[in-house]
Structure 1
Amino acid sequence: MKKKLIQLNNINKSYQNGDQELRVLKDIDLEVAEGEFLAIMGPSGSGKSTLMNIIGLLDRSSSGDYFLDETEVSHLSDKKLAQVRNKEIGFVFQQFFLLAKLNALQNVELPLIYAGVPTSKRQGLAKQFLEKVELSERMHHLPSELSGGQKQRVAIARALVNNPSIILADEPTGALDTKTGQQIMELLTELNREGKTIIMVTHEPEIAEYAQRKIVLRDGVITEDSRKEDI
């Protein structure tokens, strides 16, 4: 029995739009075990990005409880949330979000700077993870000198460098051509085989096929939760 890493209980998220309340997530219950590869799907406006942001501690729910590795995190201070986020969660985004004036190595070092890791150890770890994503030869190149696939590999190395419990990937192939997207998904699959928990938002069914489990959101409600062995 794998350890329960994420537990969401009765999660709701609402936004105020003038005098109207817009309910984006409605009574979401979700458990994710350690080592799962989960794809979150749904049409535009279904709430999938909001759910991802709450799981990633980038946003707070309006109500409900969120347990991360058995610790209730819904009500932590902003400072404590930032510490948990930096330690436990690595992010991979569609647009990469690399700093233009920093080379690949320096971009990968960033989470370690926030974590207070000393310079020599920091550089060693950054080099190690760039090697893991097969980018050792490009470590001193700026983002403008890298292809889309290489930028996403830098972003994955940056997400991994703090050894987080969870990798959150938001449309990780959305800005890539088909072949490069497949290479990135093979890399994420390999990381999952090594034990990383991966939660991915995608609107592409062929990308969701890489995951072991898929949930579908519609109008803020989980309407489907299936595993590969169930299909």
Structure 2
Amino acid sequence: MTMPLIEISQITKSYQNGDQELRVLKDIDLTIQEGEFVAIMGPSGSGKSTLMNIIGLLDKPTSGSYDLEGKAVDSLDEKALAKVRNRQIGFVFQQFFLLSKLNALQNVELPLIYAGVSANKRRKSAEQFLEKVELAERMHHLPSELSGGQKQRVAIARALVNNPAIILADEPTGALDTKTGAQIMDLLTELNQEGKTIIMVTHEPEIAEYATRRIVLRDGIITEDITKGE
């Protein structure tokens, strides 16, 4: 059997609230293979966003182990974590997080600047991925000149530009109307069919239907883990 892309073992996450300890995640075990499309669901406060942040190396677990592509990442320092994030994980958020004074092309180039890629290569790669998300004609427009769906396409192009192993999508359709949300989900499905591993947090059952595996958290515990067709 091939090595898992993500292997999480006995992960806990706790916060101190005065003299009380709040346990948000409780002994989570999770394995994700390359090429999966996973939806993480659960009610507010279930721990799904905390789990997503740990998978995305935006937060560290209190205890437990996390291996990414066979390498332990839970003990890395901030500088090393930033390097792994930039190279191996692409982020897509509900609120897009585009820089308002940069046009679409410049926003997509940002991860490549952090990676030290030359200006000419950056531009070519950014153009290529904006074409992939069908925004070639809008690449010189500012975010204020783009629709919600177009902004999310820019964010997806930015997530893809470093060719990461994983795309993490946190409520990717949350700020979009139903029709535009469906278009974004079709794009994510297409990327998954091309081999990208996609891990998505959503509270919408109809959006989770696009995924091939559904994980449900309640009170910091995985209560369901269902793969389509099994």
Unpaired segments of 5 or more residues in structure 2?
Answer: none
Distance 1:12 1:73 in 2: 15
Q: Are positions 1:219 and 2:219 aligned together?
A: yes
Equivalent residue, structure 2, for 1:145: 145
Distance 2:127 2:188 in 1: 19
Distance 1:180 1:97 in 2: 18
Equivalent residue, structure 1, for 2:69: 69
Matches within 5 A, 1:1-231: 1-230=1-230
**C-alpha displacement at 1:120, in angstroms?**
0.2
Distance 1:151 1:195 in 2: 23
Say whether the 8 Å CA contact 2:108–2:126 is kept in structure 1: yes
Instruction: Please list the CA deviations of residues 186-226 of structure 1 after superposition, one character each: whole Å capped at 9, or x if unmatched.
Output: 00000000000000000000000000000000000000000
Distance 1:15 1:108 in 2: 35
**C-alpha displacement at 1:78, in angstroms?**
0.5
Distance 2:4 2:77 in 1: 24
**C-alpha displacement at 1:3, in angstroms?**
4.0
Letter in 2 for 1:83: K
**C-alpha displacement at 1:35, in angstroms?**
0.2
Say whether the 8 Å CA contact 1:2–1:34 is kept in structure 2: no
Say whether the 8 Å CA contact 2:171–2:200 is kept in structure 1: yes
Letter in 2 for 1:33: Q
RMSD of the alignment, in Å? 0.6
**C-alpha displacement at 1:93, in angstroms?**
0.1
Divergent runs of 4+, >4 A: none
Unpaired segments of 5 or more residues in structure 1?
Answer: none
Letter in 1 for 2:20: Q
TM-score where L is the length of structure 2? 0.99
Distance 2:177 2:164 in 1: 28
**C-alpha displacement at 1:155, in angstroms?**
0.1
Letter in 1 for 2:205: P
What secondary structure does 2:203 align onto? coil
TM-score where L is the length of structure 1? 0.99
Q: Percent identity?
A: 79
Instruction: Please list the CA deviations of residues 106-155 of structure 1 after superposition, one character each: whole Å capped at 9, or x if unmatched.
Output: 00000000000000000000000000000000000000000000000000
Distance 2:229 2:43 in 1: 24
Letter in 2 for 1:39: A
Instruction: Please list the CA deviations of residues 37-74 of structure 1 after superposition, one character each: whole Å capped at 9, or x if unmatched.
Output: 00000000000000000000000000000000000000
